[in-house]
Amino acid sequence: MTMMTRISALAFATAMAQPVAAETVMRFSDYLPATHYLTVEGSMPFMEAVKAATGGEVSFQHFPAQQLGKSTDFLRLTTGNVAQISVVGVSFVADKMELSNVAQMPGIFPSACKGLEAYDAILDTTPLREKDFTQHGVKLLMAYVLPPFELASTSKPVNSIADMQGMKILVASRATELLMNEIGAAPIQATSGAAAYEDVKRGTIDGLIFAPDSMLAYDLHTVTKYGTTNGNFGGQVVAVIMNQGAYDALDDATKKVFDDAAAAAQQRVCEYVDAKKAQALEKIVANGNEMTTFGEDQLAILAEAGDKVAEAWAKELDSRGVAGSETLDAFRAAVGE
């Protein structure tokens, strides 16, 4: 493998395009840096568990920080077996993984683990798995569901939903973009946490909606001044997908190893991020940021806006023959169980 780092970029790309076949080294493509908490708590333990359980017969070559290509290309790279496994932000391929957006809707679940539980529950009771993964030639190995996102502001405190009107706010998902439109803010789609930091530094945005842990990971708390603690502005799903042919080529015992390691990793991540959200908010406060906790009246306004966004999203999918309302109703029911 060390020889690959010395060959030309063209030869490297050609080598990458060859199927793994009998090789036991799988290429694991990641848009996140190796130090990101999703990598440390999820992807790395998954790879280590598989390697240990197979006695080293299966191992991984990890390509973090978009080393194999742009994050928006990861689904295509996995379908084509350039990478056998990839970490894909659902928001980056929202037109391909449309139904997974249900777990990114504002206010739809109270915690990451509840969101993961509901997402898992509807994978096979709705068309979600077939529509978002199987038809693209990939298998969903695991999902990292993040806790409800919060607002960070660069210039003014946001004590009410009305205070957000007219603000240029960076968002990580289509659902949150729609919510900002409903509220009267001006949403801008984020491409990465690192890019968000630069946007704040340049003063091109007035605020952003991110997971508190991600704000810490990208030092966003150091360039913002205000924020919220209980907004539930929508979340994010990060799907770890595997080329279906590469998975099918495994024997049954190895498939079980992959499935068990994936289930453990996604559960570990949801528990980690749920526990860390409160801690992250404490660190942001300790940095000197002024935080707003919305009262019931403002939460009701936000919930009403979130419901409108979810219903509009579902109806738009329905109009194209995609099971939006079915998926939304199933997800809400699963959260309520």
Q: Domain residues for 32? A: 2-145+236-275
* Lowest-pLDDT range of 34-43, 198-207, 327-336: 198-207
pTM, rounded to two decimals: 0.87
In a domain, 248, yes or no: yes
Last residue of some domain: 252, 275, 298? 275
- Domain co-membership, 62 together with 136: yes
Position 336 scores a pLDDT of 94
- Domain co-membership, 46 together with 171: no
**Mean pLDDT of the 327-336 span:** 98
Last residue of some domain: 247, 275, 303? 275
Provide CB contacts within 8 A for 272, sequence distance 6+. 37, 41
Confidence tier at 200 by pLDDT (50, 70, 90) = confident
- Domain co-membership, 8 together with 48: yes
Helix (H) or strand (E) holding 291: strand 290-292
Q: What are phi and psi of 65, to 5 degrees?
A: 55, 40
Q: What is the pLDDT of residues 75-84, one digit of tens each?
A: 999 999 999 9
Q: What is the pLDDT of residues 95-118, one digit of tens each?
A: 999 999 999 999 999 999 999 999
Asked if 134 and 155 touch (Cβ cutoff 8 Å), the reply is no
- Domain co-membership, 69 together with 213: no
Position 23 scores a pLDDT of 56
In a domain, 329, yes or no: no
Q: What domain count does the chain have?
A: 2
* Whether pLDDT at 315 is above 90: yes
- Domain co-membership, 220 together with 164: yes
Q: What is the pLDDT of residues 261-278, one digit of tens each?
A: 999 999 999 999 999 999
For residue 22, give both structure tokens: 């009998």
Cβ-based burial of 72 (10 A; exposed 0-12, middle 13-18, buried ≥19): middle
- Domain co-membership, 261 together with 286: no
- Domain co-membership, 248 together with 129: yes
The CATH number assigned to the domain holding 156 equals: 3.40.190.170
* Whether pLDDT at 20 is above 80: no
In a domain, 333, yes or no: no
Asked if 142 and 42 touch (Cβ cutoff 8 Å), the reply is yes
In a domain, 174, yes or no: yes
